[in-house]
Structure 1
Amino acid sequence: MSFAWARQYEPKNGFTKWVDEKLPLPRLVYNAVGAGYPVPRNLNYMWNFGVLAGFALLLQIVTGVILAMHYAANAEVAFASTEHIMRDVNWGWLMRYAHANGASFFFVVIYLHIFRGLFYSSYKAPREMIWLLGVVIFLLVMATAFMGYVLPWGQMSFWGAKVITGLFGAIPLVGESIQVWLLGGFAPDNAALNRFFSLHFLLPFVTAGVVILHIWALHIPGSSNPTGVEVKSESDTVPFHPYYTAKDGFGLGIFLLAYFAMVFFLPNFLGHADNYIEANPLATPANIVPEWYFWPFYAILRAFTFDFILPAKLWGVLAMFASILLWFFLPWLDKSPVRSGHYRPLFRKFFWFGLIPCILVLGYCGGAHLSPITIALSQIATAYYFLHFLVILPIISSVEKPEPLPYSITDAVLGSDKKPVLGENTTPAV
């Protein structure tokens, strides 16, 4: 975002002038997250989750690199090396609990970040590329998390790998070959563990690269805001630093309090007890479930129970991947000229009383034992999920009458005697 009133970086002495001329890294930081980056003055705490997600990614990389120094990616000793980290490595228990629970907290802030984007239609023009890169980041993080869950080589690790890679076997003609290629054999073993470890180590750095592109794309149109009204003048903005660095700092403090409370007092609360049993190909767990952040998608996978033209298993696989891939098309499915859900009364009702309960039901069913009730709930929630994005959302965007928007961001914050008129502004956001 380039505004004439944005503060310009000015080197203070000869050394900083020389650095700015040869490698303008301080200027880049100043313009990206400093006083040189003007942001809407009305951002609320829902805008903290992007920074928190970036911090969580950094935390996962640091703790993951330390754990990799002591982990052995060999099916014979992987479980023992994990126990070695917990019992014998200095502060190893802390690093492992920080990494395992860090993944859960990472997904918490990612999901909140996504829900904020959905409610405020942050995927609308001119911010489509920001949203598309965000979906790519989510897919990378999910792949990384799945492969990381396999590494302890406990019962859930082994059988989770067997079930998830087995999904590719549902693809006609080439499915079995793809499954064998992914695993390096006919079942999860040494080859699969080595591959998963290598990719689990590599993908966070790939994700960090896409995050940089995500931030770069954000700085072209600038941040969205709760009204969805675009910046019109200098009075609509404040410098990112110190106003939002302080606000993000407060949010980070709350995040760390909750995070360390989990790490020190409830470190195994989000894990599965069976994963403290060494992997045994001859003993199938009573209920094979992935980590909690995969539950909604796992419920979609299990919602298909009968063959119709294609095998039920293949329908489940297609639906599971489609449930995320359809997010790529949201900028074109939602045609409303208004972004913010605060000014879209019909959209707001379907979001809070339709989509959110639907996702919560899917989450519950994904982690529950299979039964006629959970299967029926999964099928109903899955049907509604796709209807919401593919049918309800396009219809709402065409027929609803939005409420009048404020004339500007400043008016939304400070109030104005000028009566808002919908036609005067067609750019809303978060």
Structure 2
Amino acid sequence: MSFPWAQEYQPKQPLMRWLDEKLPLPRFVYNAIGAGYPVPRNLNYFWNFGVLAGFCLVLQIVTGIILAMHYAPNAQVAFDSTEHIMRDVNWGWMLRYAHANGASAFFVVVYIHIFRGLYFGSYKAPREMIWLLGVVIYLLMMATGFMGYVLPWGQMSFWGAKVITGLFSAIPLIGTPLQEWLLGGFAPDNAALNRFFSLHFLLPFVIAAVVILHIWALHIPGSSNPTGIEVKSESDTVPFHPYYTAKDGFGLGVFLILYCTMLFFLPNALGHPDNYIPANPLSTPAHIVPEWYYWPFYAILRAFTSDFFFIPAKLMGVLAMFSAILLFFFLPWLDTSPVRSGKYRPLFRKFFWFGLIPDVLILGYCGGSPAAEPYVMISQIAAAYYFLHFLVILPIVSSIERPEPMPFSITEAVLGKDDKAVLVPASAGDLPPAATPVPAA
């Protein structure tokens, strides 16, 4: 995003001038997060979660690299090496708990980030590419999280790997060979564990690369804002630093308080008890569940219990589960409303807060519950509404809805309407002849 009022980077120290000439890294950082990057002045704390997601990614990479130095990806000793980290490695317990709870924190932050984008229309033009790259990041996170869940090689790790990779066997003709290729055999064992460990180590760096593209795409149209109105003048913006670096710093402090509370007082609260038992292929757990952040999609998977014509129920469940995520790619074109922000869309707001949000929470609850009634029936109803919301309700609402009156500019949304105020462009030369102020006599 380029504005005529954006401050240009002018290094003062000779060393910084030399570095900026040879490798303009200081200029890049300044334009990305400094006074050279103007942002809308009305961003609220929901816009903190992008920075928090980046912090979580760095936390996961750092703790993961150190844990990899002590972990052994071998089915015979993987569980023991995890216990070795917990008991014998200096601060190993904290590193493992930081990594495990950091994954949950990462998904919490990303889910809030996604729902902020859904409510404020951050997926609409001209920011479609930002949204699409964000969905790619989310898919990579899901793959990375699943592979990381397998590595401790406890009961839930083994059986989770068996169930999830078994979903590929539902694909006609190529399903079973594909499952065997993924596992490197007929069941999860050394080959699968080595592959998952290798990919779990690699994918966070792929995520980091896509995050860079995500931020790059963000800087082209600029940040969205709660009103959904584009920036019109210098008065609509403030420099990212120090205004939003201070705001992000406060948000990071609150996040760290909550995260450290989980880390030091409730480190095992989100773990499954069966995963503290070594993997046993001959003993099936009574209730196989993935990590909590997959529960809504796991509920959609289990919602299909009967064959549909010639399509097996298992294949229908797999297609529905992946479709529930992939439809996010089409969201910019499913919602055709000219108004971005849900703040000015009364009908959209009702379906969002009283339809979509409760529906996702119900799916999450059912995904973590046993595959029995009434949870299966509730999952079926909630899954049907999930697809109905995005494929039917949202397009209809965007066509028939009458938006509420919107402010003329971001400045008006923040300071209120002032008929006496004149919105001054970046330079006097930008004023049309009829609007040029006439000096008093």
**1:192-341 aligned within 5 A:** 192-308=192-308, 309-341=310-342
The amino acid across from 2:353 in the alignment is W
**1:26-41 aligned within 5 A:** 26-41=26-41
* Cα deviation code 1:97-138 (max 9, x no counterpart): 000000000000000000000001100000000000000000
**1:9-158 aligned within 5 A:** 9-158=9-158
Partner residue, 1:426 = none
Tell me how far 1:371 sits from its aligned partner: 1.5
When the two chains are superposed, the root-mean-square deviation of aligned CA atoms in Å is 0.8
Partner residue, 1:178 = 178
* Cα deviation code 1:69-108 (max 9, x no counterpart): 0000000000000000000000000000000000000000
Partner residue, 1:358 = 359
The amino acid across from 2:297 in the alignment is F
Partner residue, 1:384 = 385
The amino acid across from 2:362 in the alignment is V
* Cα deviation code 1:15-37 (max 9, x no counterpart): 11110010000100000011110
The amino acid across from 1:170 in the alignment is A
The amino acid across from 2:28 in the alignment is L
Structure 2 distance, partners of 1:32, 1:208, is 16
Partner residue, 1:406 = 407
Structure 2 distance, partners of 1:115, 1:382, is 18
Structure 2 distance, partners of 1:417, 1:291, is 52
* Cα deviation code 1:218-273 (max 9, x no counterpart): 00000000000100000000000000000000000000000000000000000001
Larger radius of gyration: 2
Tell me how far 1:418 sits from its aligned partner: 5.0
Structure 2 distance, partners of 1:27, 1:153, is 47
Partner residue, 1:342 = 343
Structure 2 distance, partners of 1:180, 1:173, is 13
Structure 2 distance, partners of 1:13, 1:185, is 61
Structure 2 distance, partners of 1:13, 1:281, is 65
The amino acid across from 2:200 in the alignment is H
Tell me how far 1:376 sits from its aligned partner: 0.6
The amino acid across from 1:412 in the alignment is A
4+ aligned runs moved over 4 Å, structure 1: none
Structure 2 distance, partners of 1:273, 1:372, is 23
Structure 1 distance, partners of 2:19, 2:98, is 37
Structure 1 distance, partners of 2:170, 2:225, is 44
The amino acid across from 2:65 in the alignment is V
TM-score computed with the length of structure 1 as normaliser: 0.97
Structure 2 distance, partners of 1:10, 1:417, is 37
Structure 2 distance, partners of 1:247, 1:126, is 26
Structure 1 distance, partners of 2:154, 2:293, is 19
Structure 1 distance, partners of 2:395, 2:280, is 49
Partner residue, 2:436 = none
The amino acid across from 1:404 in the alignment is P
Can you give the 5+ residue segments of structure 2 that lack an aligned partner in the other structure? 421-441
Structure 2 distance, partners of 1:2, 1:127, is 15
Structure 1 distance, partners of 2:394, 2:371, is 31
* Cα deviation code 1:23-70 (max 9, x no counterpart): 000100000011110000000000000000000000000000000000
Structure 1 distance, partners of 2:13, 2:345, is 52
Structure 2 distance, partners of 1:158, 1:35, is 50
Matched position secondary structure for 1:338: coil
Structure 2 distance, partners of 1:250, 1:115, is 21
Matched position secondary structure for 1:39: strand
Structure 2 distance, partners of 1:205, 1:61, is 8
Structure 1 distance, partners of 2:414, 2:65, is 45
Structure 2 distance, partners of 1:360, 1:416, is 39
The amino acid across from 2:390 in the alignment is F
Tell me how far 1:370 sits from its aligned partner: 1.6
* Cα deviation code 1:310-359 (max 9, x no counterpart): 00000000000000000000010000000100100000000000000100
Tell me how far 1:13 sits from its aligned partner: 2.2
* Cα deviation code 1:130-177 (max 9, x no counterpart): 000000000000000000000000000000000000000000011000
Kindly tell me the number of residue pairs found equivalent between the two proteins.
419
Q: Identify if the C-alpha distance between structure 1 residues 350 and 418 changes in structure 2 by more than 3 Å, giving closer, same or farther.
A: farther
Matched position secondary structure for 1:238: strand
